[in-house]
Structure 1
């Protein structure tokens, strides 16, 4: 069926492997196998001939794909868009949506993903993808929705992400990302802390935890600890100096010693009298109660 352009088999109970022959449908623009029970391992052959594809949905299956093994030299973006490996803007502008969420994909996000210049929506959530987010993800200037949540991504959020001016939906939650959240203008317009929750190492707006308080700013922490130590040292030194001043004054000045001990005697007498009166009143009250 070389002329087939639209193929939607989603929301059925289809199972087993995805046929490799589907990759020969060169005129296919819409391809959806979402919400089925497909399993098995995807390879480059599944996408080799889909050079006109615009919409790809493989979500909510049990498919496996390891980007770091079979896709290291010819990534999924290469196979989808150009069988002859001619990386031009014309050969990669067609595809606008990729949804591969809720599968068993592993490995790193392919760096050649940046070849899909016309991509508007990318969803790789709820997989087992690890490694960093590609630094050049910001070249996807048409991207409107990016969902990489519930994976094992690590490292910092690339600052180039703030260069995507059309980005209106972003979800990086529940990964292992760390560092300061980029402060680009586009990311500030989103201003939703739920996009980043589940990443204990992240800090900065819109999250409430300050970068200087979770150890991401070691210089500040060192200065803060140094200032605290200096304060404690100054207080201890002042106390010792004051104590020695009083001791020396008492030692060399007789009138001060006399006045000091007289004061102690007076205080002792007052306390003794007060205790004696309180004791007598207590015994008198107790005797009255017994009678």
Structure 2
């Protein structure tokens, strides 16, 4: 057993405890006891397996705290302790595990603050999962110094404060990822393959071979408040973003459409207000969207990928949203599509309109003719003289006729 490099007994319904006799396995590189019914505590003797690179004790019934002795595993690259009943704080003794790339402590009873020394102690960290614990305090802005971090999952804790603007500096969520299958080999060709449960599209999915391509930020179900930092829209390689179940307010960033690779976006159960940015229609890879239970208003954008998301529950709980796929029509739509009167009412309206136009045209014609005549008299001397002569001639004839009529009546 002293020369054993690879030991895997995952998924075998093993019960009992981890034997302390493992302290003599100085050549052990991979220890995988996941998916069993192992109870008890993590033995101190594991700290003597100085060659250990992969430690997976997830999905068991372990309790107690992380022993300080694990701080001696300087070659350790991946540690999975999720889905147990472990408690306590993340001990500073782990600072010595400087080769760590994956730290998965999800679904336990850990408490305290997220250490601010993680960026300096784990410079190569790619995956940090502290999901479903009892961590308090804020999300340390120092996490932005982890240039390789591609999965940040601190969902379902008691974290508070604002989302740090510094998180926009997570380089691995900005740049294209290099394929890395997280494999650890033994002499006989056996290997350990990295795996992780990630909340995506409203469900928990396990990633293995494609894990190196996953970029995820899940801060959901905490007590975070304030606005969504505009800088998060610069994480151009982000595929999963979940900020649901907090107290975030303000508007959805207008530049949200820059996250062109986003596949899953959940901003539900917050206090977001304003309109849904039109740029959201640029998210052509989006296959899951949840904006429900906020204070959003106005018309729901359409076009591109948004046309395929026809589930009204995406927008439920926003009473002032309108337009498809909701049944509530926007005010502008109701105005432009007002019903026309039917039957005799239509004919009557048409006749009234015709008469109105007739009188209007006649009036305009009279005014135009009158002023044209006046303008001619004003600017033409010859026309003015002719007009006055005509008027005098008509007056003389009228006077003579009146005199002749009066004489005839006297004779009678």
Distance 1:158 1:184 in 2: 12
Which residue does 2:277 correspond to in 1? 158
Which segments of 5 or more consecutive residues in structure 1 lack a partner in the other structure? 83-87, 235-291
Which residue does 1:178 correspond to in 2? 297
Q: What's the CA shift for 1:219? A: 9.3
Distance 1:91 1:164 in 2: 18
Which segments of 5 or more consecutive residues in structure 2 lack a partner in the other structure? 1-96, 179-212, 349-412
Q: 1:184 and 1:130, CA in 2 relative to 1: closer, same or farther beyond 3 A?
A: same
Q: When the two structures are superposed, what TM-score results if normalisation uses the length of structure 1?
A: 0.67
Distance 2:319 2:118 in 1: 42
CA contact (8 A) 2:144 2:166 kept: no
Distance 2:144 2:235 in 1: 15
CA contact (8 A) 1:81 1:92 kept: no
Which residue does 1:64 correspond to in 2? 160
Which residue does 2:119 correspond to in 1? 23
Confirm or deny that 1:32 pairs with 2:129. Answer: yes
Distance 2:111 2:174 in 1: 36
Which residue does 2:223 correspond to in 1? 104
Match of 1:13 among 76, 88, 109: 109
Q: What's the CA shift for 1:92? A: 9.6
CA contact (8 A) 2:223 2:246 kept: yes
Which residue does 1:54 correspond to in 2? 150
Distance 1:193 1:40 in 2: 36
1:82-135 CA deviation, whole Å, 9 max, x = no partner? 9xxxxx954999871011100011111111111111100000000000010011
Which residue does 2:335 correspond to in 1? 220
Relative to its length, the structure with more helix (as a share) is: 1
What secondary structure does 1:75 align onto? helix
What secondary structure does 1:187 align onto? helix
Confirm or deny that 1:205 pairs with 2:302. Answer: no
| Larger relative contact order (Cα-Cα within 8 Å, sequence gap ≥ 6) | 1
Q: When the two structures are superposed, what TM-score results if normalisation uses the length of structure 2?
A: 0.48
Relative to its length, the structure with more strand (as a share) is: 2
Which residue does 1:264 correspond to in 2? none
Moved more, 34-43 or 118-127: 34-43
CA contact (8 A) 2:102 2:128 kept: yes
Count of matched residue pairs: 212
Match of 1:75 among 151, 166, 169: 166
Q: How does 1:124-139 map to 2 (within 5 A)?
A: 124-139=243-258
What secondary structure does 2:152 align onto? strand
Moved more, 19-28 or 194-203: 19-28
What secondary structure does 1:14 align onto? strand
What secondary structure does 1:31 align onto? strand
Distance 2:261 2:239 in 1: 5
Distance 1:218 1:60 in 2: 41
Q: 1:30 and 1:175, CA in 2 relative to 1: closer, same or farther beyond 3 A?
A: same
Looking at CA atoms only, which structure, 1 or 2, has the larger radius of gyration? Answer: 2
CA contact (8 A) 1:75 1:110 kept: no
> Structure 1: which 4+ aligned runs deviate by more than 6 Å?
91-95
Q: 1:135 and 1:92, CA in 2 relative to 1: closer, same or farther beyond 3 A?
A: farther
What secondary structure does 2:255 align onto? helix
Q: 1:81 and 1:92, CA in 2 relative to 1: closer, same or farther beyond 3 A?
A: farther
